[in-house]
Chain A
Amino acid sequence: MKQLLILTFLFISLISTSCTELTGGDTGANLIDSVSDYIGGIDSISAGENKYLLQGSADNGGNSGHYFRLKFQLPEGESLSFFFFSSRSLSGGMKYTFSKVNGSVYLTMKLNGLEDRTELVDFKNSDIVDVAIDIHNDHTDAHMIVWDYNGSRGDYEECSFDGGCLYNTEDFAFDVWLGVGRASGIFWGIEGDKSLIEVLEGPLDAISNV
């Protein structure tokens, strides 16, 4: 009994007085030099032609749920892609491509060889697309929900159809996303004309806890 109490005391002493590793202290790893570029309020560096790796990485080695906000201009005929839970070279992970054709905004989502395309009717004939995205990459099959940033934030089944959300992968779990699995990276980034980006936020705590 006495020995166990001593062990407990030693453990408490260790975590309260120990080194940087155990206090989450500053090592300079997050100090960005002036070479990095700012996109939508977030630091970035080039990750290849027209590709930019953004500041921030997913928790728990990517086995986590995160929220992202994407606000950008989308002129007619233009397209812009975003990567989530991807590698540093922005290969693999989820790829969201927004495009505009005849005033309609389309979103194509890809993960592990599966994909779906949906029209985002909230943004028809709008110059600005402003979406909030939850990606729960800590499920056996990743769960993704897309909302109009200024609209409803439903996370229930069928919200894709009644206006509670713009898209919920769970509503297409069997006909599109069956056995899609998880993304295996921790980084995020964009591909396309970075001057179109107005606001980016992420990876933050997921809005929904589905």
Chain B
Amino acid sequence: MQYQMYKKIFCLFLFVATLSNSYALKYSDVEISAAGDFIYEHGLNKESSASDRVKMRGVELSVFAPVDDTFNGVLAAAAHDENGEVVVELHELYISSFSLVPRSNIRLGQFFIPIGRLGRSHQHDWVFTRAPKFYRSFFGDEGIIDTGLEYSYMLPTESIYNLSFGVTSGYVYGHAHTEGSKPKVPTHFARFSRFFELSTTSGVDLGLSYLGRTDTQENDLKLVGLDFVAKWRQGRMTKYLLQSELWYKNETNSANESSEQVGMYILNQFGMSVENSFAFRLDAFKDLSKRNAITNRISNNISYGVLAQHTFTSSEFLKIRSTLAHEFDREEGITTGKDTRATLQFVFILGSHPAHDF
């Protein structure tokens, strides 16, 4: 197992190294980076599903560069630990252009579907280690990856409005070990956002997102979400960050039976210094359509999560985050599940890294 892991990582490294040394690329502005994401998670109660071991959650090797005067290219390949086995997969491979159409960005290829807040950044860039339960259920552990086309347009208004929408193949959605199958309606998505500049060092980004897809079996999926990010900066320090997402999911099958869930999280992060920040997060997730099979009545359920974390930022290339998290599920007056875990996360970046969103 270990041998196979090293072999895969070595092959990936060779691939990137070969790219970076090729004749053509020597004459362009090729940027290469590697992001490592290691975690140790320890279950603090019997029911916890924490792995109680150190694991390489993800290593992502990225190459990004202008292809020519009009297009940019991005390649991001990642390796993940899946139950002790290292799985190498392509995260992103796309070309994009800011200059084909004024005020627009066009992207073609494979990418993370950029909706909500977490969907627009890679897992190792998230402001917490593990996504809330509802997010893992709606979008998987990392977000949705698919192949297609995205168009973003900044409206010609005084205020900053951005509209992006796109369509992707929809053969797979979320966790997949297979190539999936042709959907009845491919995955399509949109996000409309507005940025409010509060001062030169602070601002608020508010977004409304939608995603839809109808799979081969005619299960019609619809997701609508609101995301909110507010930041107050003081020099290099983020003095205060408020980040929240609220999502509603509806899935209707071919027999016209619907299921609905709603989930949200809210994160408050306080910067104590450039290096140290503390945060707490509250999550809630409710299955609105869960029924008792025998009585056929809606079963009242809700899942909550709460976490406290400390992040040490040595530089923009290294973060060490310690988290204490507790999730519990309630159904009809009974606590049906609990998961308390402590997590230590190391994220480091070698080389250059593309600019982050606000």
Contacts and interface: CB of A to CB of B under 8 A. Distances in A.
Interface string A89-103: 001100000000000
A84 B230 CA distance: 44
B302 A24 contact: yes
Given A64-B137, A87-B255, A87-B257, A139 B282 contact: no
B217 interface: yes
B219 A23 contact: no
Nearest to A89: B255
Interface in B188-232: 215-217, 219, 230, 232
Contacts of A187: 293
A178 B137 contact: no
A121 interface: no
Interface string B32-66: 00000000000000000100000000000000000
Interface string B161-202: 000000000011111111111100000000000000000000
Interface stretch (B21-29, B98-106, B123-131, B331-339): B331-339
Interface range for B: 35 or more
Contacts of B282: 11-12, 15
A89 B282 CA distance: 38
A205 B266 CA distance: 27
Interface of A: 1, 4, 8, 11-12, 15, 20-32, 36, 43-45, 53-57, 59-64, 87-88, 91-92, 112, 138-141, 143, 155-156, 170, 173-174, 177-182, 184-188, 205, 208-210
A154 to B, nearest CB: 11
B291 to A, nearest CB: 6
Going nearest first, the 6 A-B pairs with the smallest beta carbon separation are A24-B330, A61-B259, A179-B181, A26-B333, A184-B253, A140-B176
B174 A210 contact: no
A38 B301 CA distance: 24
Interface in B270-315: 282, 284, 286-287, 289-302, 304
B268 A140 contact: no
Nearest to B329: A24
- The prevalent SS among residues of A at the interface is loop
Contacts of A54: 293
A63 B251 contact: yes
A141 B295 contact: no
Given A61-B260, A139-B174, A185 B253 contact: yes
A1 to B, nearest CB: 6
A88 B297 CA distance: 12
Given A87-B255, A139-B176, 19 more contacts: A8-B242, A21-B286, A23-B330, A24-B301, A26-B333, A29-B300, A30-B292, A54-B293, A55-B292, A61-B261, A62-B259, A63-B137, A63-B259, A139-B175, A178-B181, A186-B259, A186-B290, A186-B291, A209-B83
A186 B288 CA distance: 13
Nearest to A32: B294
Contacts of B290: 57, 59, 61, 186
A29 B254 contact: no
